[in-house]
């Protein structure tokens, strides 16, 4: 039923992703290591490694950081693992091994491993699951351990984590003496399902399934826990009116969740685990719930950049079609989680709509989270930036007009790093006799199957160019099909096999299909028309009413002060005048800019704030220039807008 | 130099204000009395009177409410005083007298009167001036006492407050053993200047002057106090990074305040006191500072409705031209304070720009704060309401989609009540031989002066009609001039004297001038062309870019779901098609509606959130109806918008 991921080696030199992977490898991973060790001078100390050293008895001191500080170490190791898989580095491996030594020493005799509770609230383990991220941290460490074992074959970290998993399995469940609970921040479920994929041990699947199925059951665990805590929040020390179960996706059992709601990262992490479980068990009711939630996110609660989360208050979803540009959140981690979620649905059923959303989030909402040089990051990915508003209006304080060095709550940078380093997992999958090419990334993969022993090489200038060259060489059986995605945004796609046009290539669920006849070296050329175009939102999206955005292929564009001057809001775009693609600005990575025609509202005469309407004229038309959204803020600081007024 | 307020008796029957004054008299004042006494079943208990009874030893219990709960009693008595001035009511007067008995019993032997500190923090008097509103409460009680003495001649409450003022005068100052401080919420300054106007005792002026002049001096009192408090906030119990002196308008001495900043109500209360002092002393440097601040508010930080305060976070000003419609604040009290401030500037120099702003705030941002029936109130006066956003997006939780019964923090309803009952103070003023008519309100006034002993009667259907009939009868000297305002919004105004057109009537500082020759009964007819028109904001106002508002005379209009259906954002207005005034809706008070032509964006096809731009067509044009802003939310709940997209 489901398709199987085909590991894909992303090209290390040349191609769009080579830059980002090199940056993560050479800059981000070393930078994050220094950050985790409090060695970055212009960033707040992370204290993450030091916390482990203190628990391990290697240093003395107190716990510092967020309750979930441990998780950053897990995510860093995970990113390193993916990096090692493609670029061996004895030095980096030695760093991880030394870190694992510390983690192993920090582990309690019964397998417990959490620096916050060990140092700060000893004796209070598992007493505040709703708020204190204990299983969340375990999940990220476990993901790191699995990835490291897969990359290097070294099992030491995994053994540490398996001991912890055994303790978790003994602690949680519906049996006598067990805690019938689950974590306030979903993540352990994702990690346990990955563990099961790796170990195939049924108890790992069952533990994941327990956490998922128990969530939201009546009586509600979070309500009971909140009662035990006297209604007092860990975070504020104040009483709360309710346990806020919906914020934690725990107001009803998972199959009954009506719409995407609550904290956006938690939500998509839960949905990702649900989809992973559905993929694993084939549970149709779970598939249906996942599809309903996915449709709600993608059709009603997703920014045009693939960002999700419409408010910084609680970093949360709000309500259908509420996608404010000025005050939205669109956390980098939430888009990463959306990719996880969507990828499982794609593996459940190859349908280009899923790959389209992965592409959208990857190239826009996620990559925007990091500066080109890998030294600065965004937590919030705004659709509109006005530096003086970020500084002067507290409602917009969360919108950073410039990327930041490192955050006290540093979930996003390592999440971005691990995704960039594992982007090869999203390229190809295999189902029966068909190999799907979901994303267009330069690199190679080995294809294996009945009668199949071939290599697929992908060469492309994507996402800036629409030509994708697929070279299939080796032994390919007659019935084999190669199915490259025809993106939903594409109006014209042409396909050739060994130079011969295939005008009648079948299109199924958004995938074109090439069926041979195969020769020794088959060159399939996919040509996607990359036209720039204006986008509009449904009229229900109030923030985009009367506005257009610009897209070219997978890339959403934005307008910056650097090219268009201050007060972008005074510009309006003449849609009828069309769009022009050029490369005169010399943008990084060879990205083209797109030029529209527009007008700037006349400056006001006199000092009055308001006055009678004048003639609609405005100034003469002028060029208005857009650059890819993921590149914003890499030149000068200034205003930025994705949605522009339409004349 | 300055002009003198001429007391004006607003017509009790007929005329726009008669409705509001009757409502305040018959509904709001009794309702608020019940609220202050915790007798309103659907509102949070105020506890304000009970706090005083407990201090007075008449009841037992604990303090409840905000630190400034006492002030509501002062504001209520002030509103009652104005009401009694025009409509005697022995019952109401008896209620006040009984309340004054309680207040007198609650007063400490040394004159101190504050229920919060007496009950909750005994021994901690004057230790947290920055945050705890001690002098603010004193100020409101003092204003009530003055108004009550003026209205009834009864001095008992005033005597109580004079004892308190004596204590305050002994406690605060630059002398040895005195506290060299001032209050975090300005108000005592306003009250002391009113007291001086009433008593003419120099020490009252000097005390007000001390509080004003000391503010923001170096070393900074608030910084010292904050140090003494170990940086811990009274409100949150948490440490703050700074004393936030600018929030309290205390970062620099008052003459150096650069722009309107900090908490909006505090700011305008300070500016009002500054202007009052400038008017009293003729201090030119203070006049200049007031003018600079007023210009900043009115030309850069004021909503088109006369609302001020662009963020709910701190209920504060933000920065120039930042006037977001969705998240703004525009607190009713802040507009009331703007009226106080502006009125002093108007008395300093009769210039119609001041009376224009008073008119704007009165008829729009302030009156909108109360339902037509006087039973529901708004604290926040939004320019855009989407009920599902108020419920579903926490960034907009402060925007109430319906007026509320009573607030735990109930500053606005009594502030509105006292302003409505004292609106007669804003109508006329006299300067040398000229009587200015600033506002057009039906009623009468007695004019006195050298050789002048006349009555001026005003008859008008304003603000819905532009005809204002001024009947001047009695003994009027030859040099006397009557100067009705020619509003800044008015494109055509005509004046007649006893039926004879005066096409050449002088216009000075926005006032027309009629100079006789006077007969026994002079009928001056002012005819202001009340055309509906579209307004635009300066291009610097990002939230209004590409948008228009509708105004007719002094009334700003708004668009409601009740008339235009859901999703107002999908409508755009065809400015060229003009505006039509009609009275088919049967709006309350005989208000006319205004109809524009517009289009509704086509509904989207399919489920996709975003798609390629279609033809610009939209549906056929349709009527789009606007109603006066001050009336919004008086029919059905639903969406509301002041600024609408311009086609």
- pLDDT band, very low/low/confident/very high, at A407 (cuts 50, 70, 90): low
Q: How far apart are the first and last CA of chain A?
A: 49
Distance CA B283, CA B492 (A): 37
Lowest average pLDDT, out of A11-25, A150-164, A445-459, B383-397, goes to A11-25
Question: Are B318 and A393 a contacting pair at CB < 8 A?
Answer: yes
Smallest CA-to-CA distance from B316 within B135, B129, B185 is with B185
pLDDT, residue A57, reads: 97
The domain boundary residue, chosen from B396, B425, B454: B425
Q: Please state the rounded mean pLDDT for residues A555-578.
A: 97
Nearest CA in chain A to B552: A612
Q: Considering the candidates A290, A333, A411, A490, report the single residue annotated as catalytic.
A: A411
Residues in chain A closer than 8 A to B393 (CB atoms): 310-311, 318-319, 322, 324
Backbone angles phi, psi at B290, to 5 degrees: -65, -45
Strand partners, B473: B455, B521
- For residues B148 and B225, membership in a common domain is answered with yes
User: For A393, which residue in chain B has the nearest alpha carbon?
Assistant: B318
Q: Are A350 and A357 in contact (CB under 8 A)?
A: no
**Which helix (H) or strand (E) covers residue A455, if one does?**
strand A452-460
pLDDT at A13 (0 to 100): 79
For chain B, give the mean pLDDT: 95
Do A206 and A311 sit in the same domain of this protein? no
Task: State how far the Cα of A54 lies from the Cα of B278, in Å rounded to an integer.
Answer: 64
Q: Do both A411 and A285 map to the same domain? A: yes
Phi, psi of B225 (to 5 degrees): -65, -40
The arithmetic mean of pLDDT across residues A119-133, rounded, is: 96
pLDDT score, position B406? 67
CA separation for the pair A257, A295 (Å, rounded): 13
Residue B21 lies in a domain: no
Same domain? For B559 and B620 the reply is yes
The reply to whether residue A324 touches residue B393, judged by beta carbons under 8 angstroms, is yes
**Chain B closest-CA separation from residue A539 CA (Å):** 6
Per-residue confidence (pLDDT) for residue B40, from 0 to 100:
83
The yes-or-no verdict on residue A1 having pLDDT over 70 is no
Inter-chain residue contact A302 with B549, CB threshold 8 Å? no
Helix (H, G, I), strand (E, B) or coil at B106: helix
pLDDT tens string B193-249: 999 999 999 999 999 999 999 999 999 999 999 999 999 999 988 899 999 999 999
DSSP string across A553-577: TTEEEEEEHHHH-S-GGGEEE-GGG
Ranges of H-type helices in A254-321: 264-281, 284-300
pLDDT value at A618 more than 90: no
Supply the pTM of this predicted model: 0.95
- Statement to judge: residues B261 and B356 lie in one domain: yes
Selecting from B319, B321, B393 the residue whose C-beta is nearest the C-beta of A310 gives B393
Q: CA nearest B599 in A: which residue?
A: A546
pLDDT per residue as tens digits for the range A324-362: 999 999 999 999 999 999 999 999 999 999 999 999 999
Confidence of residue B410 (pLDDT cuts 50, 70, 90): confident
B540, A604: Cβ pair inside 8 Å? yes
Is there a domain that residue A15 lies in? no
User: Which of B304, B534, B610 to probe the A interface (max A CBs under 10 A)?
Assistant: B610
pLDDT of residue A538: 96
* pLDDT surpassing 80 at residue A409: no
pLDDT band, residue B1 (cuts 50/70/90)? low
CA distance A100 to chain B (A): 38
Q: Is residue B10 part of a domain?
A: no
Tell me which chain B residues have a C-beta less than 8 angstroms from the C-beta of A542: 386, 567, 569
Would A20 be classed as within a structural domain? no
Using the 3D structure, point to which of B407, B425, B443 is the last residue of a domain: B425
How many Å is the Cα radius of gyration of chain B? 25
Q: Assess contact for A513 and A483: CB atoms under 8 A.
A: yes
pLDDT at A411 over 80: no
Residue A399, min C-alpha distance to chain B (Å) = 13
* Proportion of chain B above pLDDT 90, given as a percent: 89
- Nearest chain A residue (CA) to B309: A393
- Residue of chain B minimizing CA distance to A386: B542
Chain A residues with beta carbon closer than 8 angstroms to that of B299? 607-609
Q: Nearest residue of A to residue B539 by CA position?
A: A570
**Closest partner residue to A393 among B319, B536, B607, by Cβ?**
B319
User: Which of B315, B321, B609 to substitute to test the interface with A, most A CBs within 10 Å?
Assistant: B609
Q: What is the ipTM of this complex?
A: 0.94
State the total domains in chain B.
4
Q: Is A428 a catalytic residue?
A: no
CB B160 within 8 A of CB B107: yes
Q: How many helices (H) and strands (E) does chain A have?
A: 19, 24
Contacts of B319 (CB under 8 A, 6+ apart): A388, A389, A392, A393
**Residues B343-352: tens digit of each pLDDT:** 999 999 999 9
Same domain? For B144 and B173 the reply is yes
Cβ–Cβ under 8 Å, residues B438 and B424: no
Residue range B46-68: mean pLDDT, rounded = 96
Alpha-carbon distance B298 to nearest alpha carbon in chain A (angstroms):
7
Check pLDDT > 80 for residue A141: yes
* pLDDT at residue B303 greater than cutoff 70: yes
DSSP SS3 for A315: coil
CB B439 within 8 A of CB B359: yes
Please tell me whether residues A464 and A518 are part of one structural domain: yes
Say whether both A566 and A597 belong to one domain.
yes
From A131, A315, A359, A560, the catalytic residue: A315
Has residue B436 got a pLDDT over 60? Answer: yes
Angstrom distance (rounded) from CA B598 to CA B466: 27
Q: What is the tens place of the pLDDT at every residue in B313-338?
A: 999 999 999 999 999 999 999 999 99
Percentage of chain A modeled with pLDDT above 90: 89
Helix (H) or strand (E) holding B271: helix B264-281
For position A402, what pLDDT does the model report?
87
Chains A–B, number of C-beta pairs less than 8 Å apart: 171
Distance CA(B482)–CA(B524), nearest Å, equals 9
Q: Quick one: B266 and B393 in the same domain?
A: yes
Residue B148's CB is within 10 A of a number of other CB atoms, namely: 29
Same domain for B504 and B466?
Answer: yes
pLDDT in tens, A251-274: 999 999 999 999 999 999 999 999
* pLDDT tens digit sequence for A570-595: 999 999 999 999 999 999 999 999 99
Residue B411 has what pLDDT? 77
DSSP secondary structure, B425-477, as one string: GGTEEEETTEEEE-S--SEEEEEEETTEEEEEEEEE-TTT--EEEEEEEEE--
Give the other-Cβ count within 10 Å of B453's Cβ.
Answer: 12
Q: Are residues A230 and A151 in the same domain?
A: yes
Look at residue B244 in the predicted model and tell me its pLDDT: 94
Tally Cβ neighbours within 10 Å of residue B103: 27
* pLDDT of amino acid B604: 86
Alpha helix ranges (H) inside A176-302: 188-199, 202-214, 221-228, 264-281, 284-300
**Confidence label for A617 from pLDDT (cuts 50, 70 and 90):** low
**Does the residue A45 lie in any domain?**
yes
Phi, psi of A548 (to 5 degrees): -130, 150
CB–CB contact B298 A609 (8 Å): yes
Element (H, E) at B77: helix B70-86
Task: Tell if the CB–CB gap between B542 and A569 is shorter than 8 Å.
Answer: yes
Match 């970055």 to its residue by tokens.
A40
Other residues' Cβ atoms within 10 Å of the Cβ of residue A471:
15
* pLDDT at residue B636, as a whole number: 86
Interchain pair B612, A392: CB under 8 A = no
Q: Residue A408 pLDDT more than 70?
A: no
Asked if residue A295 and residue A194 are part of one domain, the reply reads no
CATH number at residue A509: 2.60.420
Q: Are B279 and B340 in contact (CB under 8 A)?
A: no
Checking if the pLDDT of B588 tops 60, the result is: yes
Select the residue of A395, A535, A545 nearest B327 (Cβ to Cβ): A395
Task: Give the residue, A615 or B595, on which the prediction is more confident.
Answer: B595
Interatomic CA distance for residues A104 and A113, integer angstroms: 9
Q: Is residue B18 part of a domain?
A: no
Q: How many angstroms separate the CA atoms of B33 and B92, rounded?
A: 10
List chain A residues with CB under 8 Å of B359. none
User: How far apart, in Å, are the Cα atoms of B441 and each of A430, B6, B11, B16, B425?
Assistant: 81, 14, 8, 8, 11
Question: What are the residue numbers of the active site of B?
Answer: 315, 411
CB contact under 8 A, B614 and A536: yes
Size of chain A, expressed as the number of residues it contains: 647
Residue after which a domain boundary falls, among B245, B266, B293: B245
Q: Are B209 and B280 in contact (CB under 8 A)?
A: no
pLDDT (0 to 100) of residue A45: 85
**Looking at the domain assignment, is residue A402 inside a domain?**
yes
Cβ–Cβ below 8 Å for B569 and A545: yes
Residue B618 predicted with pLDDT over 70: no
Residue B353, helix vs strand vs coil: helix
Q: Which of A356, A575, A609 to mutate to test the interface with B (most CBs of B within 10 A)?
A: A609
Q: Which of B302, B318, B327 sits opposite A392 (nearest CB)?
A: B318
Indicate yes or no: CB of A539 within 8 angstroms of CB of B612: no
Residue A8: inside a domain = no
Beta-bridge partners for B494 = B527
pLDDT mean over A508-514: 96
Rounded to whole angstroms, how far apart are CA atoms B200 and B197?
6
Question: Distance, in angstroms, between B392 CA and closest chain A CA?
Answer: 6
Helix/strand/coil percentages in chain B, nearest 5 = 40, 20, 40
Torsion sign across C-alpha atoms A142, A144, A149, A155: negative
Range of B398's domain?
253-425
> What confidence tens digit (pLDDT) does each residue in B234-265 have?
998 889 999 999 999 999 999 999 999 999 99
Euclidean distance between CA atoms B449 and B454, whole angstroms: 9
């Amino acid at each position: 039923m489901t398709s199987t991921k085909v590991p894909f080696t992303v090209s290390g030199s040349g191609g769009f992703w080579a830059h980002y992977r090199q940056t993560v490898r050479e800059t981000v991973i070393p930078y994050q290591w220094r950050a985790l060790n409090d060695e970055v001078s212009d960033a707040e100390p992370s204290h993450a490694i030091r916390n482990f050293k203190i628990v391990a008895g290697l240093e003395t001191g107190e716990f510092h950081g967020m309750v979930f500080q441990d998780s950053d170490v897990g995510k860093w190791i995970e990113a390193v693992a993916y990096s090692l898989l493609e670029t061996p580095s004895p030095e980096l491996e030695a760093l991880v091994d030394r870190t694992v030594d510390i983690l192993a020493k920090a582990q309690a005799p019964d397998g417990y491993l959490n620096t916050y509770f060990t140092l700060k609230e000893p004796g209070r383990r598992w007493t505040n699951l709703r708020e204190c991220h204990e299983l969340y941290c375990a999940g990220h460490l476990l993901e790191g351990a699995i990835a490291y074992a897969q990359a290097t074959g070294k099992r030491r970290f995994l053994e540490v984590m398996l001991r912890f998993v055994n303790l978790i399995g003994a602690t949680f469940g519906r049996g006598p003496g067990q805690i019938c609970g689950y974590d306030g921040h979903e993540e352990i479920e994702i990690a346990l399902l990955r563990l099961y994929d790796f170990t195939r041990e049924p108890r790992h699947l069952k533990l994941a399934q327990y956490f998922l199925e128990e969530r939201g059951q009546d009586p509600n665990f979070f309500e009971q826990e909140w009662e035990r805590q006297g209604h007092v929040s860990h975070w504020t020390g104040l009483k709360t009116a309710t346990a806020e179960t919906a914020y934690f996706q725990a107001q009803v059992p998972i199959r009954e969740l009506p719409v995407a709601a609550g904290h956006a990262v938690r939500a998509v992490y839960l949905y990702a685990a649900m989809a992973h479980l559905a993929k694993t068990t084939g549970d149709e009711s779970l598939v249906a719930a996942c599809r309903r939630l996915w449709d709600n996110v993608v059709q009603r609660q997703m920014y045009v950049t693939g960002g999700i989360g419409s408010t910084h208050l609680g970093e949360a979803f709000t309500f259908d079609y509420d996608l404010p540009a000025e005050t939205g959140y669109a956390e980098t981690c939430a888009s990463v989680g959306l990719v996880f979620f969507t990828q499982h649905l794609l593996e459940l059923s190859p349908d280009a709509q899923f790959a389209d959303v992965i592409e959208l989030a990857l190239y826009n909402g996620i990559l925007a989270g990091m500066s080109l040089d890998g030294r600065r990051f965004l937590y919030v990915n705004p659709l509109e930036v006005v530096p003086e508003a970020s500084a002067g209006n507290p409602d917009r304080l969360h919108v950073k007009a410039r990327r930041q060095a490192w955050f006290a709550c540093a979930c996003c940078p390592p999440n971005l790093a691990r995704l960039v380093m594992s982007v090869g997992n999203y390229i190809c999958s295999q189902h029966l006799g068909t190999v799907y090419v979901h994303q267009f990334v330069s690199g190679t993969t080995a294809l294996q199957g009945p009668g199949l022993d071939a290599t697929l090489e992908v060469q492309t200038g994507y996402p800036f160019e629409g030509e994708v060259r697929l070279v299939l060489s080796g032994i390919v059986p007659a019935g084999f099909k190669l199915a490259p995605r025809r993106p939903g945004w594409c109006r014209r796609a042409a396909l050739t096999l060994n130079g011969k046009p295939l005008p009648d290539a079948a299109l199924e669920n958004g995938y074109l299909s090439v069926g041979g006849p195969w020769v020794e070296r088959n060159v399939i050329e996919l040509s996607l028309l990359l036209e720039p175009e204006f986008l509009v939102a449904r009229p229900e999206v109030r923030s985009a009413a009367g506005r257009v955005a610009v897209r070219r292929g997978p890339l959403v564009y934005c307008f910056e002060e650097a090219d268009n001057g201050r007060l972008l809001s005074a510009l309006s775009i003449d849609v009828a005048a069309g769009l022009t693609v050029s490369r005169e600005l010399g943008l990084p990575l060879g990205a083209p800019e797109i030029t529209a025609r527009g007008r700037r509202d006349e400056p006001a005469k006199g000092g009055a704030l308001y006055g009678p309407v004048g003639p609609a004229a405005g100034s003469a038309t002028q060029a208005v220039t857009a650059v890819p959204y993921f590149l914003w803020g890499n030149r000068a600081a200034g205003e930025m807008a994705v949605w522009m007024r339409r004349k």
